[in-house]
Structure 1
């Protein structure tokens, strides 16, 4: 079968560079679902074959290679499982959690924390494949490069884009035009993958929030935010009368603590169609948690349900405990700011987020002043109190639901593995 039938034009371009160019680092960055990981997984197999040959020349009976990713789950999902589905290749795993193929000992390393590097400290590696590279810290990435000290060791990287001042872009991608650096970098857009269902692509383009998220996820650009964070919020269409609320809403609240700065509690109801309605708000400063904000929370419980969860900022764990001591269903909020914002922004883009007229004036006031910091790529820490509370309220249960599904899938996979070993 011709290679044109197996790969896209951009993937063939990458493969040609892999075979013909002189490089030490090969970096693929760009849009989601654009084919980066597919071709990098293929190159990973080619690298393992190359390492096997290098080791034979060096009379090395146990060559080692680093497979790095944000977590064990992302390594399995993005690489190990994908190799099985793409190429029908299964990588055996030993009791140490190492994978094996072509006589190469493949050592997983987790870039999400410094502890994830313990497995590779002191090792001498023939190369590395770093998945989701932008999620790694620079120190962790440098540790991986330091381990790749065998002559002719090479490093494969794939990543979605991030802040234009991110170290991966500034120190590597932007320097790929200097031959002495031996860096090859390729940029992907979603349209570089014509194998995707056109309906899927058009729908994804339609629901992806405008601005930074569209530029990164669809166009594959390394950009920061510009101006308002929730560009798609349209007060004319998204502010509704209370009598338009569905009758069967499930309620929850988000809490952003403050004292000199405002404390904000935002109450949101959601239906089984994925629509969210901001129905109530409490906002103020210079008030103690006990008794003021506890009394506010109790009133919301009586109005919207005694078991209603409150998802709160984890910066003040003593306040969360205080809520719990008063029988309030308080929970730690999901703290990933950019991911949380993207989840809220996606709902706004899809017209699945509404505000009851007059119910949350401080949220409405803030949303037009809630903007990106051009230098850091993060939200400016002003006019963000109601915004943070809404983010905790919406993003936390969505994230928890995803984690539960992933853990269930992992348990099923572990059970199957133990069964294959005859241990259960």
Structure 2
């Protein structure tokens, strides 16, 4: 059914498949390094030879990530050939069939997911992106693997060196019934040089060390350590193709809105900013007042090269702090067009901003004083780092949050700019 010689596998991948006989088998390393296909192959072989007792489980951050990262690759004939037709799943269902065996799919987004494991007995488990599941869930899953010869298979990208998976498992590989394989980008024989170069351009700083180099490294110091005022601040703006807005809502904290434009030169520009700090002005504003102020700001702002009849700008989309439900409702009532809840994946959003800054594809107009004040001091929280987490200090970050919202929510629009050939530089 499965011809290993026909699969596009490296010797390292094949070796890991053959050696995955420990109670815990863990593939870790850079993105697209080949660890997932090797781990899936080892898991499917285990399913094919498993006895009748005990459940078979696949776990991940959510059912959607399990479908995308586990089931869809298994159903890809280019990867698994004839085996793919023996992987049966209806999208949204909490079970799948692999080689005729029922497999239970369990999402583990938070600590409450641990309760889904209580009382069951398992013989095989596969965990997608293990660093993203709660520690309590992982511990409970291991306790449920109580059938003689039970095994756990897991993949992950590196995280903080203080993450529980690193300190309590990988660092204790000699003490535990555990085998681990570290993969780098060069370990995947199927990647083209062009793709590797494009991927490397998308990751900088902390994420480059983790996702490209495959290192378990700590987040420390400035988040945007590539920020250079001489390089990233401009006094003039090119013509723009389109605009978007990002808004971080605040009542007692500052309210920040940034206007992002895509220049004809293939760069993104923070063209303007509007802020209100109730503590500094000693004046609070209602949702209705904020809505009116933002609409007035956009109606009055104009590109420096615009004529007297071209005043005002209409953004294609405005991305709002997703926790600001009352403000979103107010904007809808006021007929504000193109409203969307912003993507609030903090680490991924920071990575998106970092990649653009590092590539010189994101510039800030000198008028955006709030953002320019915040960017140099935007730093990792050392207390969170000590816990093995990556989180920014929640101090003077309101314009940074607004920027993160609009950048990450429009990533599909600008991702190509990271590898596009440079055009004529913007005036500075």
User: Which interval holds the TM-score relative to the shorter structure?
Assistant: 0.7 to 0.9
Q: Distance in 1 between matches of 2:332 and 2:357?
A: 32
Residue in 1 aligned with 2:88?
92
Q: Distance in 2 between matches of 1:83 and 1:77?
A: 10
Deviation at 1:400, TM superposition (A): 11
Deviation at 1:229, TM superposition (A): 1.2
Alignment of 1:338-357 (within 5 A): 338-356=347-365
Q: Distance in 1 between matches of 2:316 and 2:67?
A: 36
Equivalent pair of 1:224/1:374 in contact (CA under 8 Å): no
Deviation at 1:321, TM superposition (A): 2.7
Residue in 1 aligned with 2:255?
263
Structure 1 stretch displaced more, 3-12 or 188-197:
3-12
Q: Distance in 2 between matches of 1:104 and 1:116?
A: 23
Deviation at 1:156, TM superposition (A): 0.4
Residue in 1 aligned with 2:47?
48
Residues 111 and 272 of structure 1: CA distance in aligned 2, closer, same or farther (over 3 Å):
farther
Residues 2 and 140 of structure 1: CA distance in aligned 2, closer, same or farther (over 3 Å):
closer
Matched, 1:388 2:381: no
Deviation at 1:316, TM superposition (A): 3.5
Deviation at 1:324, TM superposition (A): 3.4
* Superimposed CA distance per residue, residues 227-249 of structure 1 (whole angstroms, 9 cap, x where no aligned partner): 2212233333332333x42243x
Structure 1 stretch displaced more, 112-121 or 28-37:
112-121
Alignment of 1:155-194 (within 5 A): 155-178=152-175, 181-194=176-189
Equivalent pair of 1:148/1:154 in contact (CA under 8 Å): yes
Residues 72 and 278 of structure 1: CA distance in aligned 2, closer, same or farther (over 3 Å):
same
Equivalent pair of 2:57/2:124 in contact (CA under 8 Å): yes
Structure 1 stretch displaced more, 392-401 or 288-297:
392-401
- Out of 101, 104, 107, the position equivalent to 1:107 is 104
Q: Distance in 2 between matches of 1:285 and 1:117?
A: 42
Matched, 1:198 2:193: yes
Residue in 2 aligned with 1:14?
16
Q: Distance in 2 between matches of 1:130 and 1:400?
A: 32
Higher relative contact order (CA 8 A, sep 6+): 2
Deviation at 1:115, TM superposition (A): 6.9
Q: Distance in 2 between matches of 1:298 and 1:102?
A: 58
Equivalent pair of 1:264/1:386 in contact (CA under 8 Å): yes
Residue in 2 aligned with 1:320?
328
Q: Distance in 1 between matches of 2:193 and 2:15?
A: 23
Q: Distance in 1 between matches of 2:45 and 2:297?
A: 60
Q: Distance in 2 between matches of 1:36 and 1:263?
A: 43
Q: Distance in 2 between matches of 1:400 and 1:238?
A: 21
Q: Distance in 2 between matches of 1:396 and 1:2?
A: 41
Equivalent pair of 2:256/2:275 in contact (CA under 8 Å): yes
Which segments of 5 or more consecutive residues in structure 2 lack a partner in the other structure? 302-311, 385-389, 416-428
* Superimposed CA distance per residue, residues 4-25 of structure 1 (whole angstroms, 9 cap, x where no aligned partner): 9843243234234325xxx210
Residue in 2 aligned with 1:213?
207
- Out of 141, 144, 155, the position equivalent to 1:144 is 141
Structure 1 length-normalised TM? 0.81
Equivalent pair of 1:267/1:281 in contact (CA under 8 Å): yes
- Out of 199, 220, 225, the position equivalent to 1:226 is 220
Q: Distance in 2 between matches of 1:317 and 1:298?
A: 18
Q: Distance in 2 between matches of 1:106 and 1:169?
A: 28
Structure 1 stretch displaced more, 147-156 or 102-111:
102-111
- Out of 359, 368, 372, the position equivalent to 1:360 is 368
Q: Distance in 2 between matches of 1:41 and 1:98?
A: 17
Residue in 1 aligned with 2:383?
375
Structure 1 stretch displaced more, 157-166 or 229-238:
229-238
Structure 1 stretch displaced more, 165-174 or 27-36:
165-174
Equivalent pair of 1:173/1:185 in contact (CA under 8 Å): yes
- Out of 57, 60, 84, the position equivalent to 1:66 is 57
CA-atom RMSD in angstroms: 2.9
Q: How many residues align structurally?
A: 385
